[in-house]
Amino acid sequence: MRFRDESSSIAVMGKLDRVDLSLSMSRAESEQRLQKLGRRLLQLRLVSAGLIGDGRLGPGLAVAFEGWDAAGKGGAIKRLVAGLDPRHVRVESYAAPTEREKRHHFLWRFGPNLPGLGGMAVFDRTWYGRVLVERVEGFATETEWKRAYGEIVSFEKSLEAEGTTLVKLWLHISDGEQLARFERRQDDPLRRWKLTDEDWRNRAKRPAYVLAVEEMLKRTDHDGAPWHLVPAESKHYARVNVVETVIRRLEEGLKNRGITVPPAGQAELLAD
């Protein structure tokens, strides 16, 4: 979908248009690969936590999930942490800020859940709500959300300077696939709770959200914390892609701290 850049009158092709949504994977292949990847992630987490290896603490690992409603964030998170000891990872989900949280800077409520050295935290929705839903729905003023880009980049660079590896993921699906998933949820009594009136309202404003996402990707992608666009039309492909991306970034984080990254084959020797 082409969008109109606010700084130009010309419709341009955005980063979302370049995501190859034809990429897919079967359930059987996905499950097989996730089992192997899960062992590798467990190995790296134990190294980073100082529980195996030379005992030094690796980087804090923060995995930030954003994406379209019904893009499969929950399923991807479930597979990401499935093989990890619950004591070694924290998953936090964020919705609209509470009245108390609104009295603080918008980044304030995320601080307590950030991982320390050797830790891991997964964020289901993040501080990017300021430049997405709060922008589109008018919950933040234009001055506030425009200022937020610089505040977010400074925040993320400070985390990087303190030793955090931040993995930012946008799960992307087409407009048609989102509608199909909404309708399947609506028809399933055990999944209907996932679909709200707000989801339908947000969907109706998808063109505005596309513009907001494109500007977010353009203004908050930086060397320390680049955006990873995940093709999520196939949930099975997306889940594998997410875990592979997190593993690659964690390996980079360990190397940056001077910690030896064990060969991947050794992960198969870990006992259950």
Mean pLDDT in residue range 262-272? 67
Residue 271 included in any domain: no
- The Cα–Cα gap between 257 and 128 comes to 27
The tokens for 95 are 């919705």
pLDDT confidence tier of residue 4, bands split at 50, 70 and 90 = low
pLDDT for position 193:
86
| Number of structural domains the chain divides into | 1
Range of the domain at 133: 3-259
Residues 6+ apart with CB under 8 A from 32: none
- Share the mean pLDDT of the chain: 93
Q: Give pTM, 2 decimals.
A: 0.92
CATH number of the structural domain spanning residue 163 = 3.40.50.300
Q: Give a yes or no: residue 15 inside a domain.
A: yes
The phi, psi pair for 260, rounded to 5°, reads: -65, 130
Question: In this structure, which amino acid lies at residue 68?
Answer: W
In a domain, 270, yes or no: no
Taking only the tens place, the pLDDT of each residue in 166-215 is: 999 999 999 999 999 999 998 988 888 888 888 898 899 999 999 999 99
At 16, which amino acid appears? L
Residue 267 lies in a domain: no
Residue that has been written with the tokens 């907001």 in this structure: 212
Structure tokens at 256: 């940056």
